[in-house]
Amino acid sequence: MAYRKNIVITGASAGLGEGMARRFAAAGRDLALCARRTERLERLAAELKEHHPGIRVVTRELDVNDHDRVFTVFREFRDELGGLDRVIVNAGLGKGQPIGTGYFAANRQTAETNFVAALAQCEAALEIFREQNAGHLVVVSSFSALRGMPRNLTAYAASKAALATLAEGIRADTYRTPIAVTALLPGYIESEMTSRAGTSRTPLLAGADRGAAALVKAIEKERPKAYVPAWPWAPLAAVVKALPLGVLRRVV
C-alpha cells in the first residue's frame, strides 16, 4: 500500500464525507473537499486547518450532476496540490419511491446522482491517475447493492449496484498497474441520509465516529471491496445473498 497524501472527497460538507475528512486531516493528509453546500464546507475547512495547522485544505463548490464542472474541479485540485493520490467518490442521494407509483423524477434523480455523476467523477479521477500512472480510486457504494431491494430502496440499490460493478470494471482495466480501486459497501452509519430514510433507530446503526473510523481503516487497506463496519456487515453479506426473495422483502 502506498502512502496517499493528497485526497479528494466529494460530498464532503456533511455525513460520511465530513467524517472521513476529519479522520484524514488528523492523520496529516492534505485534502481537496467539494460539495454543493459551500458554507458548511468552508466552516469544516477552517476548523480542520485550525486543529491541524500542518495540512493543506482546498475547497470547491461542486454539484456532481454538473459533469463538465467535475472535470474542471478535479483538475484544479490536481494543479493546486501538485497531484492527486486518492479520490473518494462519496457524493450521493438516498431518495426514492417504489417503481411505478408516480415518482419517476425522484428515482431518476437518485440514479443520475449515484451512477451517472459517479461515472463522471471516476472518469475525471482516472484521467489524472493514468497520466500520473498512480492513484487510488474509492467509490462509496452500499450494502444494499448486494440484492434487488423493495419499496423505496429499489432505485437506490440498483444505482449502488451499478457503481460497485463500475468499480470492478475499472479495477479489471487497471489490473497490475499502480492504480488501485476500492469499492466500499457501508451498512447503516449515522448520517443525515439514514435519519431521513428512517433507519436511525435500527440496532445495526453504527455511530458517525465509529462509521468514519471504519471507512478510513478500510480505505487505507486498499482492498478491492470492503463491508463497513466489518462487523456485522461482512457476515451479514453471506446471509443476505442467500435469502429467498420473499424473505428478503420482509426483512429490509
Q: Is 156 among the residues known to form the active site?
A: yes
From CA 64, how far away is CA 120, in angstroms rounded?
8
- Which of 127-131, 200-204, 232-236 has the least mean pLDDT? 200-204
Supply 147's cell numbers.
440484492
Q: What is the DSSP string of 175-203?
A: TTSSEEEEEEEE--B-SHHHHHHT-TT-T
Rounded to an integer, what is the distance from CA 83 to the centroid of its chain? 21
| pLDDT of 98 | 96
3-state class (DSSP) for residue 57? strand
| pLDDT of 1 | 64
Q: State the helix-helix crossing angle for 117-132 and 154-173, rounded to 10 degrees.
A: 20
- In the structure, what pLDDT confidence band is assigned to residue 197 with cuts at 50, 70 and 90? low
The alpha-helical segments, DSSP class H, found in the chain are: 15-26, 38-51, 67-81, 104-111, 117-132, 154-173, 192-197, 208-221, 230-242, 245-251
Indicate whether 198 pLDDT > 80: no
Q: How many residues does the chain have?
A: 252
Residues paired with residue 60 on neighbouring β-strands, in sequence order: 34
Q: How far is CA 83 from CA 5, 30, 74, 128, 140, in A?
A: 9, 11, 10, 8, 22
Q: What is the pLDDT of residues 5-44, one digit of tens each?
A: 999 999 999 999 999 999 999 999 999 999 999 999 999 9
3-state class (DSSP) for residue 60? strand
Q: What sign has the CA pseudo-torsion 76, 77, 81, 83?
A: negative
Q: What sign has the CA pseudo-torsion 241, 242, 245, 246?
A: negative
What is the pairing mode between strands 57-61 and 179-186?
unpaired
Indicate whether 214 pLDDT > 70: yes
Q: pTM score, two decimals?
A: 0.94
Catalytic site residue from 103, 156, 175, 227 = 156
Indicate whether 200 pLDDT > 80: no
DSSP state, residue 141:
-
DSSP element (H, E) containing 18: helix 15-26
CATH topology assigned to domain 6-251 = Rossmann fold (3.40.50)
